[in-house]
């Protein structure tokens, strides 16, 4: 019984690890883009375990690759021995990264990937000064929390790094809000120059940024912002780290990596979530001279293990064979266009934003930019009641987030869109009713 499981969950797991929904659900089976809960209710999944079930559920090619590896009897060897699956995956990731002469280090989570990126950047530059972006999320270790610019996800002020904060360049909130894109880029560059001159001692190691802020509510600066920032960074030799944990592998539709919208190549790129389609697989890929900046032995016991890298190889082969980036563009456009048309005239929706299959709807008090997290929660619950799993996020908890598997079909996109639109309209109407 779910009720019993909920009580048991609460008795032994910490309360700071939240559960979705007033009545939390246990997902017990899945196929394609659909999951079934312990009560036998079926849902179309538009959140994919936080953008992690990137190909979908029970995909034969991935299941078989993992089963093949398990049947060899080798689940783990440690990185003290050659791991064929790991080398093959590293070759693919290095090639796809767009970074010349790249090296890859595998970890188990996005947090560890960013930790590794920060380690090599700080060693390479002999500096622990970092630039990070307001409203960002990079993970839950001390260093990753240290570069996280979101109070709701910062569980400690202890920080091994010296961090200075940039404006994100987003359209809706903050000092640069509502400027047109070119002016926002100019203002963000001015901000960077000022931060470097006033808040640092000069030799900064790197800037770490998400092309689209995930936990932050799918907000992003104008295309080209990273290139404008990088021009300034290059004047100082500062490295640029693109956190592609949510934006990677074609999810944005228009590009394979989020950074490519900016006409820039990062020195380091971190990845996680979707590449394992649920298996614990993450890592950092970067310029050889930077990634080699580890003056001691360093390894990860489970990072890049034979099972997770077997999954990773199957995921990337599937992704490329089926051109899922193009599918993300196609199905994402159905969702984005449909949502924009449906909310036109609804003054409780400030913005429908995002790219490809990474879309957010931000709810505000009518006619203002004041966040409305209560309305967001009602829409979120109404989606679930209608048979659609979505996500929630944003600095103020007022953004509905959609990050479905990249295998989403056009029919499923329309089906989910109809549920979303119903939920938004019915909750918005209830809001204005006396």
Ligand X SMILES: Cc1ncc(COP(=O)(O)O)c(C=O)c1O
Chain positions contacting ligand X, by CB under 6 A: 50, 109-111, 114, 137-139, 210, 214-215, 243, 245-246, 272, 282
The least distance separating ligand X from the CB of residue 271, rounded to whole angstroms, comes to 9
Q: 221 to each of 203, 322, 408, how far by Cα in Å?
A: 25, 30, 27
Hey, is 392 helix, strand or coil? strand
The least distance separating ligand X from the CB of residue 353, rounded to whole angstroms, comes to 16
- Comparison of 179 and 280: residue with beta carbon closer to ligand X: 280
The least distance separating ligand X from the CB of residue 245, rounded to whole angstroms, comes to 4
* Number of other residues whose CB lies within 10 A of the CB of residue 52: 20
Phi, psi (rounded to 5 degrees) for 313: -65, -45
- The residue behind tokens 């001015």 is 190
Q: Exposed e or buried b for every residue in 351-370, given b needs 16+ CB within 10 A?
A: bbbbbbbbbbbbbbbeeeee
- Comparison of 176 and 209: residue with beta carbon closer to ligand X: 209
- Comparison of 45 and 243: residue with beta carbon closer to ligand X: 243
The length of the chain in residues reads 434
Q: With contact defined as beta carbons under 8 Å apart, do 319 and 406 qualify?
A: yes
The least distance separating ligand X from the CB of residue 273, rounded to whole angstroms, comes to 6
The least distance separating ligand X from the CB of residue 198, rounded to whole angstroms, comes to 27
- Comparison of 247 and 398: residue with beta carbon closer to ligand X: 247
- Comparison of 111 and 327: residue with beta carbon closer to ligand X: 111
- The residue behind tokens 């490519």 is 260
Q: 245 to each of 212, 221, 276, 278, 405, how far by Cα in Å?
A: 10, 17, 12, 13, 15
- Comparison of 109 and 168: residue with beta carbon closer to ligand X: 109
Hey, is 285 helix, strand or coil? strand
The least distance separating ligand X from the CB of residue 214, rounded to whole angstroms, comes to 4
- Comparison of 246 and 265: residue with beta carbon closer to ligand X: 246
> Which residue's CB atom is positioned nearest to ligand X?
110
The least distance separating ligand X from the CB of residue 357, rounded to whole angstroms, comes to 15
C-alpha atoms less than 13 angstroms from C-alpha of 173 in its C-beta half-sphere:
20
- Comparison of 137 and 257: residue with beta carbon closer to ligand X: 137
Q: What is the 3-state secondary structure (H, E, C) of 133-190?
A: ECCCCCCCCHHHHHCCCCHHHCCCCCCCCEEEEECCCCCCCCCCCCCCHHHHHHHHHH
The least distance separating ligand X from the CB of residue 192, rounded to whole angstroms, comes to 20
The least distance separating ligand X from the CB of residue 221, rounded to whole angstroms, comes to 15
Query: H helices within 32-83, ranges in order?
Result: 48-51, 60-71
- Comparison of 282 and 408: residue with beta carbon closer to ligand X: 282
């Amino acid at each position: 019984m779910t009720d019993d499981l909920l009580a048991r969950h609460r008795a032994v797991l910490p309360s700071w690890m939240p559960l979705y929904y007033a009545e939390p659900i246990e997902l017990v089976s899945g196929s394609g883009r659909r999951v079934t809960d312990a009560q036998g209710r079926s849902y179309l999944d538009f959140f994919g375990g936080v953008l992690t079930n990137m190909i979908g559920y029970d995909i034969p090619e991935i299941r078989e690759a993992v089963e093949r590896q398990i049947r060899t009897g080798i689940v783990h060897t440690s990185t003290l021995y050659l791991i064929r699956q790991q080398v093959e995956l590293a070759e693919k990731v290095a090639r796809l990264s767009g970074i010349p002469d790249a090296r890859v280090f595998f970890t188990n989570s996005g947090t560890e990937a960013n930790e590794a990126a920060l380690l090599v950047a700080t060693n390479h530059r002999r500096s622990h000064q970092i630039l990070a972006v307001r409203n960002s999320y990079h993970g839950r270790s001390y260093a990753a929390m240290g570069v996280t610019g979101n109070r709701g996800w910062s569980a400690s002020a202890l920080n091994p790094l010296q961090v200075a904060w940039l404006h994100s360049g987003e359209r809706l909130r903050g000092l640069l809000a509502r400027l047109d894109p070119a002016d926002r880029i100019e203002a963000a560059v001015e901000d960077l120059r000022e931060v470097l001159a006033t808040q640092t001692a000069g030799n900064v190691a790197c800037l770490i940024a998400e092309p689209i802020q995930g936990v932050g509510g799918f907000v992003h600066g104008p295309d080209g912002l990273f290139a404008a920032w990088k021009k300034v960074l290059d004047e100082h030799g500062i490295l640029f780290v693109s956190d592609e944990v949510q934006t990677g592998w074609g999810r944005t539709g228009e590009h394979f990596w989020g950074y490519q919208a900016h006409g820039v190549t990062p020195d380091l790129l971190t990845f996680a979530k979707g590449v394992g389609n649920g298996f614990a697989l993450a890592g950092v890929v970067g310029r050889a001279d930077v990634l080699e900046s580890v003056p001691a032995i360093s390894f990860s016991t489970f990072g890049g293990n034979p099972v997770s890298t077997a999954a990773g190889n199957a995921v990337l082969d599937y992704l490329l064979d089926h051109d899922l980036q193009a599918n993300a563009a196609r199905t994402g456009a159905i969702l984005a266009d449909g949502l924009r048309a449906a909310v036109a005239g609804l003054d409780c929706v400030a913005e429908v934003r995002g790219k490809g299959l990474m879309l957010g709807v931000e709810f505000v008090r009518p006619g203002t930019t004041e966040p409305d997290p209560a309305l967001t929660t009602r829409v979120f619950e109404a989606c679930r009641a209608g048979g659609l799993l979505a996500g929630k996020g944003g600095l103020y908890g007022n953004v509905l987030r959609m990050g479905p598997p990249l295998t989403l079909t056009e029919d499923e996109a329309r089906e989910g869109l109809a549920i979303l639109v119903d939920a938004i309209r019915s909750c918005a109407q209830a809001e204005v009713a006396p």
